[in-house]
Amino acid sequence: MDIHEYQAKEILARFGVPVPRGGLANSPEQAAYRSDEIGGEAWVVKAQVHSGGRGEAGGVSLCHSDRDVARAAGGLLGKRLVTRQAPAGKLVSQVYVEEAAEIDRELYFAILLDRASEQVVIIASADGGVDVEHLAATAPEAVVRVPVEPAVGFLEFQAREIALAVGLPAGQITPASRIFRAAYRAFRDLDATLLEINPLVITHDGDLVAADAKMSFDDNAIFRSPGIAELRDPSQEDPRERHAADHGLSYVGLTGNIGCIINGAGLAMATMDMIKLAGGEPANFLDIGGGASPDRVLTAFRAVLQDDNVEAVLVNIFAGINRCDWVAEGVLKAFAEADVKVPVVARLSGTNVEQGRRILSHSGLPIIVADTLADAAENVVAASAAGRPAADRVTGGGLR
Instruction: Tell me the CATH class for 239-392.
Output: alpha beta
DSSP conformation letters of 263-299: SSHHHHHHHHHHHHHTT--BSEEEE--SS--HHHHHH
Q: Please count the residues of the chain.
A: 400
* Predicted confidence (pLDDT) at residue 359 exceeds the cutoff of 90: yes
* Predicted confidence (pLDDT) at residue 89 exceeds the cutoff of 50: yes
- pLDDT band of 391, cuts 50, 70, 90: very low
Cis peptide bond upstream of 199, omega within 30:
yes
The catalytically annotated residue of 5, 196, 329, 378 is: 196
What counts of helices (H) and strands (E) characterise the chain?
A: 13, 18
* Mean pLDDT of all residues belonging to the chain: 90
CA distance 345 to 372: 11
Among 46-55, 238-247, 276-285, 344-353, name the one with the lowest average pLDDT: 238-247
Comparing 21-99 with 103-229, is the CATH topology the same? no
* Predicted confidence (pLDDT) at residue 400 exceeds the cutoff of 70: no
Task: Cite the beta strand spans of the chain per DSSP E.
Answer: 22-25, 43-47, 60-63, 80-81, 90-91, 95-99, 103-114, 119-125, 143-148, 192-203, 208-210, 214-217, 250-253, 258-262, 284-287, 312-319, 344-350, 367-369
Domain spans, the chain? 21-99, 103-229, 239-392
* Predicted confidence (pLDDT) at residue 87 exceeds the cutoff of 90: no
Q: Which of 374, 86, 385 is nearest to 258 (CA)?
A: 385
Q: Model confidence over 150-162: pLDDT tens digits?
A: 889 999 999 999 9
Contact 105, 75 (CB under 8 A): no
> According to the model, what pLDDT value does residue 8 have?
97
Q: Which helix (H) or strand (E) holds 178?
A: helix 170-189
> According to the model, what pLDDT value does residue 387 have?
63
**In terms of pLDDT, which residue wins out, 389 or 78?**
78
> According to the model, what pLDDT value does residue 392 have?
42
Contact 147, 118 (CB under 8 A): no
* Predicted confidence (pLDDT) at residue 388 exceeds the cutoff of 50: no
Active site residue 196: yes
Q: What per-residue string of b and e applies to 177-199 under the rule 16 or more CB within 10 Å gives b?
A: bbbbbbbbebbbebbbbebbbbb
* Predicted confidence (pLDDT) at residue 117 exceeds the cutoff of 90: no
> According to the model, what pLDDT value does residue 291 have?
67
* Predicted confidence (pLDDT) at residue 16 exceeds the cutoff of 90: yes
The predicted model gives 166-181 an average pLDDT of 95
**Model confidence, pTM:** 0.74
**In terms of pLDDT, which residue wins out, 85 or 370?**
370
- CB count, 10 Å around CB of 132? 19
Contact 384, 280 (CB under 8 A): yes
CA distance 311 to 342: 6
Instruction: Tell me the CATH class for 103-229.
Output: alpha beta
- Cβ-count burial of 233 within 10 angstroms (0-12 exposed, 13-18 middle, 19+ buried)? middle
Among 106-120, 256-270, 312-326, 386-400, name the one with the lowest average pLDDT: 386-400
Helix, strand or coil for residue 133? helix
Contact 294, 338 (CB under 8 A): no
The catalytically annotated residue of 5, 6, 96, 108 is: 108
Task: Return binding residues.
Answer: 46, 53-55, 98, 101, 106, 198, 212, 263
CA distance 384 to 77: 40
Instruction: Say which CATH topology domain 21-99 has.
Output: Dna Ligase; domain 1 (3.30.1490)
